[in-house]
A = this chain, B = another copy of it.
Amino acid sequence: MATIQVIPLGGVGEIGKNCTAVRQGDDIVVVDCGLSFPSEEMPGVDIVIPDFTYLIENRDKVRGIFITHAHEDHVGALPYLLPKLSVPVFASKLALALIRPKLEEKIGLKGLDLREFSPGDELPAGAMTVEPVRVTHSIPETCCMAVKTEQGIVLFTADFKLDFTPVDGKLTNIQRLGELGREGVLALLSDCTNAEEPGWSPSEATVKEGLRRAFAAAPGRVLLTTFASNIHRMQQTIDVAHEMGRKMAVAGRRMEQTLETCSKLGYVRIPSGLMIQLRDSTQYPPNKLAILTTGTQGEPLSALVQMSKGEYSRLKIIPGDTVLYSARPIPGNEASIWRTVNRLFRAGANVVYQAPMPIHVSGHAHIEELKMMINLTRPYYVAPVHGEPRHQHRYLQMARQMGYPEHRAFLLTDGVPLAMDETKAWLDEPVPYGRVLVDNSGEPGLTDDVLRDRNNLANDGFVVVTVVVDADTGEVVGPAIVQHRGVHGDSSTMDKLPDAVADALNVFAPDDIRDVDSVRREVADSARRFLHKRMGVRPVVIPIVVEV
């Protein structure tokens, strides 16, 4: 029988850009194709996607991309992979409805092979098959993926929690997971994002009571911010607004689009007469209004952040407004979130982010649910994914407590295949992998060199020193021209830089001046010395030597 390889291309030892391949002989199955967001160390970068080299090099073997759910960290890189890989994409009805317009906008739908599945389908993938199994998460129609190989089932949990009172009434198919366990799960690739959280995650339904109380306590308008993809949360907000006799408007393009798509397909139920246009909101008394809005992460262009700055033309914050923060900060965004919150307070709003009853719960399993998943599926091997090393570490600690010896519990990293044959599992030779940066040019592949330059420019600015030399006479013509940006210091000192450069070049003989490279070097060196010694700064120095 063939060796089975599980090859993480992203999303292992990190949160975001989830993409994993399963290979059996000449067949490759890809589970998810997500993006992640840049850290503050990546200025000008819009999104980060996996390095797809391995898939592209093996494009004739890839049988399909199987989408667990429609969150960006699981689907957002499709527009970058599909132009290079002509394979079917399998996804649920809702996921397809959310993915399709984004693909259309970025790469057009022509030539794409998008296929809808239902949980329980047996999807073809060369000599393997893939069965999606329903689980609960913060977006409907999330599915585990059971990849059926010669050696047994490789089971991806996807992002999940075990919610016994889900908002849409659609329970995790625990029975089917149990059956798969009996059939033989070779390896469980488990969500571990919340492995540090004790006990069981509270049901999404518990948020409803928190929202009711927060709405009831609000003297004026309620503005609720949540992730535009958290469809259950939006449903509950809609329900509570309706109960409380408030009209509802939406601020934020993505949220409007998602709500429209979901309501059209029946994933969100909107009572008739509830929704109003944002521009009509002034016609209602404040305590009869609720507004759903984007901006949970302090994104500069989001509706909430613009409102907090008084720059959102369609809505102004007024004293008496209550802003409900129904989300969690993604690590790294805290500073901009708090800036937004503080601005909202200054504008006269009351911002609620801690409440006696929760107004947010996580969509990811806590530690006891992770144990339950192992108990149900009885995998031979376990490997935590969708988490940082600290989460993986905690998951593996738990697995040891559940009796998994070291050779059956793996700390995976991106790019390193987990190989399994009849008798053992091991970490195989790495495949090409890494982060690929996409900036506003839209062209992936911003290099580390460019990033380093950007960080240097941000910290110290730059100085351009242009010197004109006469190639015939070997003389410097006129004073050096100095241009600079982002450099802090006394401008009268900067004005003396041309003299310093001229002094340095004075010692050059006419023959030396004709050696443009060495002139360029001396211009740069003398400018750097001057700037550091006289102004205490170390900007990027660009010497330009013009020969005439």
Hey, which bits of chain A sit against chain B, CB under 8 A? 13, 39-40, 43-44, 196, 329, 331-332, 334-335, 338-339, 341-343, 345-346, 350-351, 354, 388-390, 392-393, 437, 439-443, 445-447, 450, 453-455, 457-462, 464, 466, 468, 477, 481, 483, 485-490, 535-538, 540, 542, 544, 546, 548
Contacts and interface: CB of A to CB of B under 8 A. Distances in A.
Interface of A is mostly: mixed
Per assembly, the copies of the chain total: 2
Contacts of A468: 468, 546, 548
Pairs A-B, 8 closest by C-beta atoms: A332-B335, A458-B458, A43-B458, A441-B536, A44-B459, A457-B457, A345-B389, A453-B486
Nearest to A450: B488
Nearest to A489: B441
Contacts of A329: 334
A99 to B, nearest CB: 24
Nearest to A332: B335
A338 B331 contact: yes
A450 B461 CA distance: 8
A196 to B, nearest CB: 7
B441 A544 contact: no
Contacts of A343: 389
Given A450-B487, A458-B454, A461-B454, A477 B548 contact: yes
Nearest to A531: B441
5 contacts: A329-B334, A445-B488, A453-B485, A457-B458, A464-B542
A459 B457 CA distance: 10
Contact of A440 (B346, B477, B538): B538
Contacts of A43: 455, 458-459
A464 B546 CA distance: 13
Contacts of A342: 13, 388-390
Nearest to A447: B488
A136 B464 CA distance: 54
B439 A488 contact: yes
Contacts of A345: 389-390, 392-393
B457 A462 contact: yes
A468 B545 CA distance: 11
Given A483-B542, A487-B450, A537 B390 contact: no
A345 B542 CA distance: 41
B346 A389 contact: yes
Nearest to A442: B536
Contacts of A392: 345
